[in-house]
Structure 1
Amino acid sequence: MLEHHGRFDYSNITKRPTYDWPGGKRLAVYVAMNIEVFRYGKGKGAAIAPPDQANSHSVYSYRDYGNRVGFWRLMDMFRDMDIPLEHQLNTAIYDHHPDIMERIREHGDEILGHGHTNSDEQGGLPENDERKLIEDCTRRIEKEEGKKPLGWMSPWLSNSERSLDLLQEAGYRYVMDWTSDDQPVWAKTRNGKILLMPYPVETNDNRGLVWYRYSSAEFTDMVIDSFDEMLEQSKDQPLVCPISLHPFVVGRPYRLRELRRAFEHILKHRDKIWLTRPGDICQHIESLPKGTVPGDQY
């Protein structure tokens, strides 16, 4: 037998119980914004330069563009289009870019835990250090926002073998780090269960545009094609169509113009979809009868 993570069993998506999203909809669409802060000259870089240049001033400033310019352009666009958002948040934002948080609150968006900075991965930490990171970030968000976040996405999706256990024990109800399904499914932890929220690898601008080097038009076409196909598939079962954005990537003028085209297309079908946030998806899943969602017996 092959090694296995032991978190959940195999489940064929075509053999699962069928349910609806609110309003009888079958396709849930959410937009995730990665609101990140980076160390200068230290830690992980972005894949836009050779490894020996990953911490250069040019790479740092490339990413800093997102908080100085890209975020604001994107938020203007989403305000004008009346699109709800979720933001996975490095808590260093509170110290370095407090006006970003003012704008997020103004828009009424959901906030996720996302570590302190995206220059540091989570997965390689000793258990006590990883627990402290989660607790510190949770405490800071609760202090600033008046409530704990429901969900977490690890910096760089980096998990240890204990991450799901620690997150569940810290009170998190869902996590974005596992990308193996188009429906939310439950994962087993040592003290209960936690929901695995669908999250995109390719309809993700940092992966698609920076890592895989799609053009802006190709990325937009991919978002549209994914949405159209999932809308068709969702006639038979509920699905989640996630879109992940990084202001330092897609907030650039020539990319923003193409991205707007993708959302203009999606909004033509607004009456057929549940345009929502992952926290609302989580709460809906939690309300369903036992036996509806894979892993709910954990």
Structure 2
Amino acid sequence: MSYLEYPKRAYGNDHDLYPWSYSAQREPVRLDDGTRLDAFIVVPLEFFPLNPSGKPFKHPGAMVTPYPDLRHYTTRDYGLRVGVFRILKALRAEGLKAVFPVNAVLLDRVKPLIETVLADGHEIAAHGVSTDHIHYAGLSEADEEAYIVETKALFEKHGLSPKVWMSPARNESYNTPELLAKHGFTTLLDWEMDQRPVEMKTAAGSLTCLPNHFELNDFNLLITKRQSEDEWEAEITEAARYLLAEYDRFGSQVFGFTLTPYVSGLPFRIHALKGILKVLAGLEGVRVSTASEISANWSK
């Protein structure tokens, strides 16, 4: 039975990036501004190569059929040319702000889109170099750091210095958090281990992790799980209402969800998106804001 003996086994987490915190045993947080639920909307702007390397795996939105997979390539391109502008219009109608993680190689390709996002008051976040630059444990630390340095350089070329990061495919290596902190990033959208912001400590500094829920991701629900638009709308609005109802017990909480331009930006899905945004805008105690604003609000 020696295989049951593990000298590092202990109560709580199996790492020291953040402390163990059991929700039922901690004090509720009451935010000074009265916010009961902080919601953030993630709209990734992604570049999908026509011939992805697939290392160490293909991004979930990558090409599917043999080269040249023009059907899926042009669908993704449609999201950046058409679908995302429907999302922007819907957000504008409700006066809501979102965070737009951008693959750095897109900055030269979709300049008018980036200008529109910024003009509407949304937040730009760094989303790595491209969907074909996956961060994973098989990368050397030097190669991964080079990805981050390249990402920052491309943003700086366009006068942008984002402090919020979301990894391509939301995948990381064991070195990713420390490398991000080393290069000045302060907020991370890859993790989802809580219903509150979590401070992650690394040797290079701290990161604020916001719970970006994959289970509410439009690609996951509408494409992978093949749910209907009405089901998707109901799930997100129910999540918001449920978390609000928990306020007396748990205090203020946070949740985020993703709108993929080539998924929820399609014309037959906009009615569901409009319904989601209208509910969020109308719920008392809910604040929909950017990732940086939420991080700042919770750090007071």
| Fold equivalence (TM over 0.5) | yes
Q: Which amino acid aligns with 2:121?
A: G
Q: Is the 8 A contact 2:50 2:67 kept in 1?
A: no
- Corresponding position of 1:98: 111
Shift of 1:206: 1.4
- Corresponding position of 1:232: 245
Shift of 1:52: 5.0
- Corresponding position of 1:263: 277
Shift of 1:18: 2.8
Shift of 1:229: 0.5
CA 1:46–1:113: 2 relative to 1, 3 Å: closer
Are 2:30 and 1:20 aligned?
A: yes
- Corresponding position of 1:171: 184
Q: Is the 8 A contact 2:59 2:132 kept in 1?
A: no
Are 2:207 and 1:194 aligned?
A: yes
CA 1:43–1:209: 2 relative to 1, 3 Å: farther
Which of 247, 264, 269 is the aligned partner of 2:261? 247
Q: What TM-score, normalized to structure 2? A: 0.88
Q: Which amino acid aligns with 1:255?
A: R
Q: Which is worse superposed, 237-246 or 159-168? A: 237-246
DSSP-derived class of the 1:112 partner: strand
CA 1:54–1:107: 2 relative to 1, 3 Å: farther
DSSP-derived class of the 2:299 partner: helix
Q: Which is worse superposed, 71-80 or 122-131? A: 122-131
- Corresponding position of 1:4: 14
Gaps of 5+ in 1: 288-298
Q: What TM-score, normalized to structure 1? A: 0.88
Q: Supply the distance in 1 between the matched residues of 2:87 and 2:63 (Cα, whole angstroms).
A: 28
Over the matched positions of the two proteins, sequence identity in percent amounts to: 25
Q: Supply the distance in 2 between the matched residues of 1:140 and 1:238 (Cα, whole angstroms).
A: 37
Question: In the comparison of the two structures, how many residue pairs are matched?
Answer: 285
Q: Is the 8 A contact 1:22 1:274 kept in 2?
A: no
Q: Is the 8 A contact 1:21 1:27 kept in 2?
A: no
Q: Which is worse superposed, 5-14 or 150-159? A: 5-14
1:56-135 → structure 2 map (5 Å cutoff): 56-123=69-136, 124-135=138-149
Q: Which amino acid aligns with 2:181?
A: Q
Q: Supply the distance in 1 between the matched residues of 2:226 and 2:60 (Cα, whole angstroms).
A: 10
Q: Is the 8 A contact 2:182 2:204 kept in 1?
A: yes
